[in-house]
Amino acid sequence: MLTVHADQTVLGYLGRALSLELSAVQLYTTQARLADSWGLAEVASKFSAEAGEELLHADRIISRMLALGVAPNASQLRPVRLGSNLQQLLQQDHAFEKELVGLYEAATNHCARTGDHDGRVFFEALLGEEQKHAIGLEQWLQQLQQSEEMTAINKVTQSGV
């Protein structure tokens, strides 16, 4: 039997984090298969790598929960939201990552307020990784939009309009 060594709020953050991280694994794995079916092998590879990173986050959360004396329990996976093109997929991903960032910010702040140094450090590390990921998605979206704009300009130029 495990002995609980954390406050209930921290355990709640960990449970929500595990649910979201496992949902992210499901999301990115599904998007990888979809991108592959669209013939976007490089994009599929990127999504697969993202799924792997999120799985590592879930593993760290499970380890933390066990160290605190609780059995991991992801309450519910989020339904996968897809799109009909890469831009829509990336927009879904960015919104999802922003949610993770918000959760980790709240958890970090709670731990700082309550003097839980180890919890703060744990959540800060995840927060930093998810912030980098959100920025990377934002940059990818911007590059995609710029590429689409250049394609549109080239079409107009070529048509002589």
Question: Mean pLDDT lowest for which of 28-42, 60-74, 140-154?
Answer: 140-154
> Averaged over 78-94, what is the pLDDT?
94
CATH number (domain holding residue 111)? 1.20.1260.10
Give the confidence band of 147 by pLDDT, cuts at 50, 70, 90.
confident
Q: Under a CB-based contact definition with an 8 Å cutoff, are residues 15 and 74 in contact? A: yes
Question: Could you tell me the pTM of the whole model?
Answer: 0.88
Residue 125: predicted pLDDT: 98
Residue 56 lies in a domain: yes
User: How far, in Å, CA of 124 to CA of 117, rounded?
Assistant: 10
Total domains in the chain come to: 1
Residue 3 lies in a domain: no
Question: What percent of the chain has a predicted confidence (pLDDT) above 90?
Answer: 81
Q: Could you count the other beta carbons within 10 Å of the beta carbon of residue 27?
A: 25
Expressed as residue numbers, the domain containing 32 is: 8-159
Residue 140 lies in a domain: yes
Structure tokens at 159: 């048509």
- First and final CA of the chain: distance in angstroms? 75
Residue 49 lies in a domain: yes
Residue 127 lies in a domain: yes
> Averaged over 1-29, what is the pLDDT?
90
- Burial grade of 140 (CB within 10 A; 0-12, 13-18, 19 or more): middle
Give the confidence band of 13 by pLDDT, cuts at 50, 70, 90.
very high
Give the confidence band of 128 by pLDDT, cuts at 50, 70, 90.
very high
Residue 1: predicted pLDDT: 46
Backbone angles phi, psi at 77, to 5 degrees: -80, 140
